[in-house]
Amino acid sequence: MRFPPSFLDELKARLPVSDVVGRRVKLKKSGREWKGLSPFQQEKTPSFFVNDQKQAWFDFSSGKNGNIFDFVTQTEGVSFPEAVERLASLAGLALPRTSREEEQREERQKSLYDVMELATKYFEQNLASNIGAQARGYLSDRAIAPSTSLEFRLGYATPNRFGLKEYLGSKGVSVTDMIETGLLIAGDDIPVPYDRFRDRIIIPIHDQRGRVIAFGGRTLRSDVQPKYLNSPETSIFHKGSVVFNFHRAREPAHKAGSVVAVEGYMDAIAIYQAGIKSVVATMGTAFTEDHIATLWRLSPEPLICFDSDRAGIAAAHRSIDRILPLLSVGRTFRFVFMREEKDPDDLIREKGVEAFKNVLAGSLPMWDVLWEREIADTDVRTPDKQAALEQKLYGLMRTIKDPIVHKAYFRTCRMQLANLFWQVGKSKGANAKETSPSKLVRDRLKLSKDGPRHGLQRLLLGMLVHYPDFLEEKQDQVLRLQFAPELHEFWESLHRLLIAEEKLTVQSIYASLKRDFYEILESIHGEEKDGRPWGYRLLQRFPTLKHDPSRDFISRCMDHFIAIIHLHELDDDIASVQFDAGQPGGDVAMERLLNLVRARQETHAEIQAEGLALAEEANALTRIWSSDRTGLQVAP
């Protein structure tokens, strides 16, 4: 219903904001304003202010503000038209007249509500009578207390095909009205319309004002399908926009600040009876945009409870796609999955309400469920498959219409993708039972004393001393590396020698470097003395060099070791930029993080391939050298 602006202005003029707010909040005069405790948050110091001159209220603790209509919709969980109706009644104003067509439609709906009320009373009477003994026994077995049965107005439909039809007919209700409300089954091929609900427990379904608009029926016989039967769509019942128990849950949900949504109405009744009053049910229908909007009227972060079986998880996943476009700042969902394939009703009966509360306490943010959905059983070990996952997730993020939420989800998505790809890259070696990124390093080098990282730095510098003709060729690559502090000073001195000397030899390096570096020279290379050759320490680290390898092999080994050292540095860079990338405004850091992760993957793949090739060549060199020494002919 649309209201003329003049009517809304008249309402605001007749109802001071302090009068409307004062019905829920204890206010005290403070100068020209009124103040009190926030109705939206727990607080001890008043931060809620009302200004009648401005016709507005302000809640500084929650950041909310508005007029009298906003206050009623947000504190009572009603729609705008309902808020206007309530305030009009409070002000003693009649609602503006609508068109004749609208009036006729409203009158027609009123009569249908009367029909549903009569049907509800009929079902209630059946349950209370002798004919309802078996139904009462079923409710007792489900641990539904008589007081709960009365509160929810549970009833019973007899097996008689015309029981309800005859009762309503005796009250003057036409067959047309019975058919329009979905109480009778009719059709061109059905000569005589008959009762839709027969031999079933009847659960009335109410609208947000508490009027009965439909019924759910639970069969008492195991051989009858469906187990649960709902009223069909009617002019007063739209399944996709109704949640069961909304009118009872509205006030408890606003007080608790949360609401639990379950699938079935029997679960909702059991949870309500156990003391959790802010509970509703979607009645097993597909999760719709109207359901989402309705639940957000009860809580900014509803908890949706699903079974943990395949069907429940699939339903949760489908609901995410519905919710994503509608997300906004302060409005989201959390997901709860029942363990051990138990319904909430079963869990409460077997282990008590605390067990169910523990399940609720383990609720998951929507992003976590979305992330698990997308990466479950997804192979991301190759760049093309990583790109496919990245593209799919970014496509989902683009469906979020709210720009602030979109940006936050996009940032989180990129962050977790980077972490995932990094971890996948790091785990490849571990899965292959490798302790380093290279088979050559694992099989051919002795680095246990210094560890693979510093050991490779010492090895590389030792090789540059042993083969000084490579210094000029490799200097640009080596200059980009980050050595350990003591090795960094050594490399700088060695590089200065390269610039100063026209021709370097092993002997000139030993003669020209400061004596301060002699200890490092000895540890990474080793001076000729006592019958030991030049570079005896280096040869201990890399015994293959004893076998007179080719210049190409030595050059490729140096490049390989440089790449591994660079890989360790990439890991350091990734770790350092991760925090910044996860912060608000960290877009630049996030882009750098993704680039670093991609660079690491490419470097790791190159290292693995080259390491295997070099290890095979090193093995061949060893076999040839052994055959030369023994006189045997061993094929490479």
Tell which residue, 493, 535, 537, 488, has the closest CA to residue 514.
493
Predicted local confidence at residue 601, as pLDDT: 77
Predicted local confidence at residue 632, as pLDDT: 35
3-state helix, strand, coil in the chain (%, to 5): 60, 10, 30
Mean pLDDT score of the chain, rounded to an integer?
Answer: 87
**Consecutive H or E run containing 202:** strand 200-206
Confidence of residue 625 (pLDDT cuts 50, 70, 90): low
In this prediction, residues 365-379 reach a mean pLDDT of 92
In this prediction, residues 42-63 reach a mean pLDDT of 88
What pLDDT, in 10s, does the model give residues 336-349? 998 776 789 989 99
What pLDDT, in 10s, does the model give residues 245-274? 999 998 888 788 899 999 889 999 999 999
Confidence of residue 573 (pLDDT cuts 50, 70, 90): confident
In this prediction, residues 479-494 reach a mean pLDDT of 90
Predicted local confidence at residue 104, as pLDDT: 66
DSSP structure string for 205-265: EE-TTS-EEEEEEEES-TTSS-SEEEPPP-SS--GGG--BTHHHHHHHHHHHT--EEES-H
Residue ranges per structural domain of the chain: 5-91, 106-237, 246-373, 439-629
What pLDDT, in 10s, does the model give residues 88-107? 999 888 888 766 666 666 66
Predicted local confidence at residue 106, as pLDDT: 65
Predicted local confidence at residue 117, as pLDDT: 96
Tell me the CB-side half-sphere exposure of residue 617, using CA atoms within 13 A. 17
b/e burial code for range 320-347 (CB count within 10 A of at least 16 → b): beebbebbeeebbbbbbbbeeebbbbeb
Tell which residue, 153, 291, 290, 166, has the closest CA to residue 212.
153
5-91 is classed in which CATH architecture?
Alpha-Beta Complex (3.90)
Upstream peptide bond of 485 is cis (omega within 30 degrees of 0): no
Predicted local confidence at residue 336, as pLDDT: 94
Predicted local confidence at residue 233, as pLDDT: 94
Domain 246-373 belongs in CATH node 3.40.1360.10: yes
Q: How many CB atoms lie within 10 A of CB 71?
A: 25
Q: Would you say residue 444 has pLDDT above 80?
A: no
- 106-237 belongs to which homologous superfamily? DNA primase, catalytic core, N-terminal domain (3.90.980.10)
Q: Name the range with the highest mean pLDDT among 255-259, 357-361, 384-388.
A: 357-361
